[in-house]
Structure 1
Amino acid sequence: MKPFRAVFQIIDNNNCPLYESEDIFTLTQKSLSFPEGKESCLILVRELTQLLFQLLEENGEPDFVKKYTCSGCTGLIKFQQVQGEEKTLQGSEESLLSEKEQKLFDKIRNYALLKAIPAKHLKKSISCFKGKIVREKSLLITKGQLNEHLYILLSGEVMVEDGEVPISRLGEGELCGEMSYFGDSIASTSVRALEETRVLAISGKDFGKLIKKSDAVQMHMARLLAERLSRANSRRASDFGSSMQGKLNEMAPAELLQVFHMHQKTGVLSLELPRGNAKVSFLEGSIVVANYAGKSGQDAVFAILVEREGVYNFTSGLPDREMQQSAIGDFMMLLMEGVKRGDEG
């Protein structure tokens, strides 16, 4: 009988406490090998042992398409069989960093935003980060102007401000310019250095590629956006009377929809967009109706999120028939799916 050997690689990682995406496990008739330096998960040992019996019984060709999911603990992984030696070497290969890059990696590795990204991915992308020094009282980001980068603070402090209204103070390890990740390039607030400040800049496009395989970081970004918008929009609460209007180049669709969600508004958001008129109906902050460019429901929301030009008007109140509608989906999940589709497009 031919010796059995199967190599599995993690293809999706949702808060697993032990392993990272692209980690490799090797299963034979007699042993189970874990990634070097990693602990053995007893849950995974049990499940791969059961899988071994199943594969031995089938005694067929390897299935490199089928995906397997662990039963989970505080986290969850998905893995699939890959072709042996070549993929194993590829998966274990470490990115070689210069001395300067290694120092930068060691400094930023445990920042809240980056620690959930597998070390291999972060090392491969370290060259995408560019250092910048911002002088005291200088603007890093200017409201209403083009901004295509996220900035991670290495030292110093900055103030996020809307005109003369201070919104939040940020320090080492924190992020600003996050809307560039969500596809928007026009800054809705300014960021001013309170002292000489060192930052790392990375384009929204490169950052999207970096975190593409990390659901945990994507959710961190969604929560960060929600918290930032909540603080910023509390300053704008007085504008929320019976109506609100403006231009999308001053407030991106992702931020605009979040405004009405965070304030649990009930009413109709009407938009004049490049591909025609759009409508989004909110019931206590949840989207219950959406129409745009011949699409409806979630697909219409996704289409609206990628637009950058147009005007909008919000009017309080809904028709009786829409007051009975259910939400078309969880708001934050809609937002994140829209971001993913925008990246893929």
Structure 2
Amino acid sequence: MSEAAGDDLPAVVPAPDLPAAVTVYEVGPRDGLQNESSIVPLEVKVEFVERLVAAGLPVVEATSFVHPRWVPQLADAAELVARLPLAGPVPLPVLVPNDRGLDRAIEAGCTHVAVFASATETFAHRNLNTDLDGQMAMIEPVARRAREAGLDVRAYVSMCFGDPWEGRVDPDQVVAVGRRLLDLGASQLSIGDTIGVGTPGAVTDLVGRFTAAGTPVDRLALHFHDTYGQALANALAGLRAGVTTFDASAGGLGGCPYAQSATGNLATEDLVWMLTGLGIDHGVDLGRLVATSTWMAARLGRTSPSAVVRALG
């Protein structure tokens, strides 16, 4: 499973009633690098994606076709995807915030795209300059055109457990927004704890509300931030609720450029370590992954916040 020595892997003690396998959805090149204060060179980004693919990540979100004025760190999106194997066996999704972003993705030959919405009115205004209904009106033609072009569409919904301006978020409102995104044709809904305030009980409750509303659990993914050190505990709660796709960022890179209290994403290495110890198949080479995050941290000029990278790197 890993290039790491046997002593550098956890003892495997399977837990009952957990999924046999999960998909680790790597978001480091997009969600991780979008919040960097400096611009990461294109060559480094290309190698970062290539290293993650070589480490066995089954999905690697490459970039976002957002306007450079809003996220200058990803202004080289077209140049990046032109250097990547879009027709290869590992999907390399890109985020498309609007029609123009979708046009650019289609022109670049992308086969997997993602759209983004908010569970709260305030963040919809701050991030998309509209309200909850308005964001759906913006997303609907993008999702429709993408599906008509034969692209897979994933949907993100943010601020699902808390909002820095509104505080606690009504879980039924999250379900309502999420189900509208699925109704637009999204193949999967990624439920985001954007500011990291969620706890395991809240995760269990929210997943249960989605399934009670008729959403199959295999249509759900979970996206945690580790602001309060709850990301791994929340992932375990998600596993126990039957979720089998988890977003994570190599080395714990990332945050949200529009929410200052959002710190790093769940580190992919920390998630993989836990999954390995639970005997859950994930297909990721931990040794290669740690080496990749150590390499990237050096290029960013700092140490990785991932506990596993610090321990093994």
TM-score bracket, normalised by the shorter chain, equals under 0.3
Name the TM-score, length of structure 2 as normaliser: 0.27
Which has the greater radius of gyration? 1
Higher helix share: 2
Name the TM-score, length of structure 1 as normaliser: 0.25
